[in-house]
Structure 1
Amino acid sequence: MTEQSRGRQQAATIYAVADLAQVSIATVSRVLQGSHLVTEKTREKVLDAVRALDYLPSGAARSLAARQHAAFGLVLPELSGPYYSELLVGFETRAAELHQSVMLVIAGTKDDHGRALRTLASQVDGVAVMGADVSHVRASSKPLVVIAGQGRPDTEVILTENVESARTLTEHLLDHGRSRLLFVGDPGAARDVHERHEGFLAAHAGRGLVPAAPVLAPFREREGAAVADRIISGELSTDALVCGNDELALSIMSRVLDAGLDVPGDLAVVGWDDVMTARYVRPGLTTVRQPVQEVGALAADRLHDLVSGAPSGALLHVLPTEVVIRSSCGCPAPSRTNTVSPAPPRKRDPR
């Protein structure tokens, strides 16, 4: 080995590899771990950079042996749809700024979350888990942060405000004279959906109205189309829909418009998330904007503090949301927003 190549090997780091390959350090980590979540083109770019720099992954192992933080784990229920990609971007970007790599695990069912946590516990310094109830999962020595889920009594939980925003959105439809509202989503599927349905119920209770039962639908495009077909056929009688996310709302809008119904004339539709498409469709989608990337970044920040031994602060972190009024609800088409702040912080999550 020449002095030049020896010097290059000593200087090479995972960050240098990521920079040369023009990818994130999390992507480099995935390639080196043999993950299938990387395209063949990206894999080749990373491996070419590894060869060019004479990078040895064992350097990361030496870093771990020196008790330096190397990786965070992130457990997501899936990766489909814009929400999870936004969350992942926020988490990975902040982790990279903190000089951490990221190990991603997809847990398809509720039973998989405990298994995913046990798998990651031996490979990372801390884990963030999304949309899960880990209150009964065996405690781990590794720091744990829960996003939009249920934690143990000593676990930090990160949420966005849901109840008041959903109440405001539902009241807005009632103010438009809509009288046969339906909530589309499954309140039993996740904590945030449950809270959005709570807001829907609260708006009706505040007007002395009896709400209809929710239309149970997973957050997938095809499920929205199925709900739309039930409306078109007359199986569901409604003049306004409060959808649990934008993917359902946009899918329903597209299907009913193709069938000749008018939105919002025949059917008002509102969603949740404010994905990019929501502002470009016609009519523009009235929805709720939540800071998804900021949630991911905060989860990485909290893990870093916990791994570093910083004292725990609040166990519950609630980020504000914004009601975004466009025209799918019946309004002319402004773009005003109404920020809904969370309730005063509580010392412990009571759920």
Structure 2
Amino acid sequence: MNGNVDRAALRHHGDVEALPGLADFAVNVRSDQPPPWLRDRLAAALDRLGRYPGARDDADARASAAARHGRRPDEVLVLNGAAEGFALLPALKPRLAAVIHPSFTEPEVALTDVNVPVERVVLDDYALNPACVPDEADLVVIGNPTNPTSVLHPAEAIRALARPGRVLVVDEAFADTIPGEPESVSGDAVPGLLVLRSLTKTWSLPGLRAGYALGAPELLARLGRHRPQWPVNALVLEAVRACCEPGAVAEAEAVARELEDHRVRFAKALGELPGVTVAEPARAPFLLIHVPGADRLRERLREKGFAVRRADTFPGLTPDHLRVAVRAPDQTAPLLAALRELLGRVSGVRVRDSRAEPAPDPEERLP
């Protein structure tokens, strides 16, 4: 890895793109605030800020998450977001880590920062082939569904990566955004399996940082060995407890079904634009698109009031890739209109309502 340049790219995330005043298609969060019932739960928990979070608070949160996934409470470790789980990976002292790309880049940063050798496994067509992972890797990291490709890998292919002496880290930050959570391994008792879950996306809690890890008690103990006392606050513990209760799980399922419909419609509309290729099959609430000149297109979209996520900072992708968050049709319609206008200038064709007409100024081009 090339020191400062690569590290800066790997630490680029969508929130940097989502400047105030822009329509946000760069961050994969459900909305700009949590649902009212969750806000009320968190507001009520403010009364507990006058004391240290105790063992009972932690136990209640772990019990709620355990019940949600059919696990035991000692198989849950509450985290300051799934990202903290990646930051803790060096405590496992791997000799060689394999990070499957394109994917969320924080695991690679955390490992290379402490000089753990990392082998990038860049997938052809974004499809997982377990044979591509080096046998000698004693730590493997994969996202499912994968950010930014929106690919959902088969659970059997994920399980095929496990073996004695290896820790298999599965980032399931977006698992609850897919109806029924197919291919999730969160309930598996596979030796060495560590599953990271996030509350950020579905519950719109990026400012709180709440998540948890699932795994064998001894593995979780190794992961959290160097954490300070009281590592998570009372609001995080309340969020985990609340969002894992049956009513919340049912709400997440309904939201996932709605997102699935929005994604299908959005992907179809994007794929009809000139020069745009949508990575399929997509299952998560974001889409990876390839369009020539995407780096310039992103700048022109920002001028028109839209933020989309550059994707060339993901290993294996190029300046011609963008990631776009799935939103409701009334929100995506203005973005699609802007894309039609900008891409019509490039192609010499104006696209309107899926019909092509000659553009009045075919010489106009994106700068």
Q: Give the TM-score normalised by structure 1.
A: 0.31
TM-score, normalization by structure 2: 0.30
